[in-house]
Amino acid sequence: MLEKGWNPRLPADTLRKDLIDIHPTASSFKIMLDKVKHHAKQSMNDAFDYAKQKWDKSHKVPDFKVGDLVLVSTLNFNNIKGPKKLKDALHGTNAVQVELSGELENKHPTFPVSLIKPYQPADKELFPLRNPTPLTVPPVEQNEDKKIKKVIKERRLRGKNQREYLVRYRNPVHEDEWLAESEIPDSDKLLRRFRHERRPQA
């Protein structure tokens, strides 16, 4: 009355006072939902606790200190020369505050702990003749022409009406590479063969 200057007629005024507020079926349905929600929450907490317990049994928090030597996984490095099969699985030794050099100097020096392993030097007393031998990668001739063997995949660039094709070279030294159609020599012949191989056989 003080705000409007008149008494508004509310929906509650039209309801019969002798009616119950909640239908019994709706009330029992809500009770069931509350029980299901509680059970689901408890099950998720139990599953989380079980997974944490299993993980903690077989994993330890890494205790790396500044100055420790570590090995860095090369899983995500794609600029290391040579065939993939001949690449080292781990690159090292590196400091924990990783300082990369050579082919890896442009990589970000921060790595997840899962990609780092502590470096264990060989025991000179147990293995006096063991000397680390660097892996020799076959040299890649710079003047060698890359001859494309075939096209194996295609993709459309997001936001652009342009396609790229994953090509495989005849020389296994060269890795598969995404190229635009204009960058592929004899693109008509190679793409025609690629589309023919993808076409379902009758």
- What local confidence, expressed as pLDDT, does residue 17 receive? 60
Q: Is the pLDDT of residue 190 over 70?
A: yes
Residue 11's pLDDT band (boundaries 50, 70, 90)? low
**Is 178 inside any structural domain?**
yes
- What local confidence, expressed as pLDDT, does residue 143 receive? 42
Q: Is the pLDDT of residue 38 over 80?
A: yes
What CA–CA distance (Å, rounded) separates 174 from 142? 11
Mean pLDDT of the 8-19 span: 62
For 60, the token pair is: 């330890």
What CA–CA distance (Å, rounded) separates 177 from 78? 11
The residue that leads in pLDDT, 51 or 100, is 51
* Of 73-82, 138-147, 167-176, minimum mean pLDDT range: 138-147
pTM beyond cutoff 0.75: no
Q: Within a 13 Å sphere around the CA of 200, how many CA atoms are in the beta-carbon half?
A: 1
Cβ-contact 89, 77 below 8 angstroms:
no
- What local confidence, expressed as pLDDT, does residue 121 receive? 76
For 11, the token pair is: 């929906």
- What local confidence, expressed as pLDDT, does residue 58 receive? 79
- What local confidence, expressed as pLDDT, does residue 122 receive? 76
Q: Is the pLDDT of residue 1 over 50?
A: no
**Is 181 inside any structural domain?**
yes
**Is 34 inside any structural domain?**
no
Range of the domain at 176: 148-198
Same-domain status, 154 and 113: no
- Name the β-bridge partners of 73: 90
Q: How do residues 65-115 score in pLDDT, each as one tens digit?
A: 777 777 777 766 665 566 666 566 555 555 455 666 666 666 666 666 667
* Number of C-beta neighbours around residue 165 at 10 A: 21
Residue 42's pLDDT band (boundaries 50, 70, 90)? very high
What domain count does the chain have?
A: 2
Residue 48's pLDDT band (boundaries 50, 70, 90)? very high
Average confidence score pLDDT of the chain: 74
For 121, the token pair is: 């030097």
Q: What is the CATH number of the domain that holds 185?
A: 2.40.50
**Is 162 inside any structural domain?**
yes
HEC profile of the chain: CCCCCCCCCCHHHHCCCCCCCCCHHHHHHHHHHHHHHHHHHHHHHHHHHHHHHHHHHHCCCCCCCCCCEEEEECCCCCCCCCCHHHCCCEEEEEECCCCCCHHHCCCCCCCCHHHEEECCCCCCCCCCCCCCCCCCCCCCCCCCCCCEEEEEEEEECCCCCCEEEEEEECCCCCCCEEEEHHHCCCHHHHHHHHHHHHCCCC
**Is 126 inside any structural domain?**
no
Mean pLDDT: which of 58-67, 97-106, 122-131 is highest?
A: 122-131
Contacts of 81 (CB under 8 A, 6+ apart): 103, 137, 140
Cβ-contact 82, 137 below 8 angstroms:
yes
Q: Is the pLDDT of residue 131 over 80?
A: no
**Is 38 inside any structural domain?**
no
**Is 192 inside any structural domain?**
yes
**Is 59 inside any structural domain?**
no
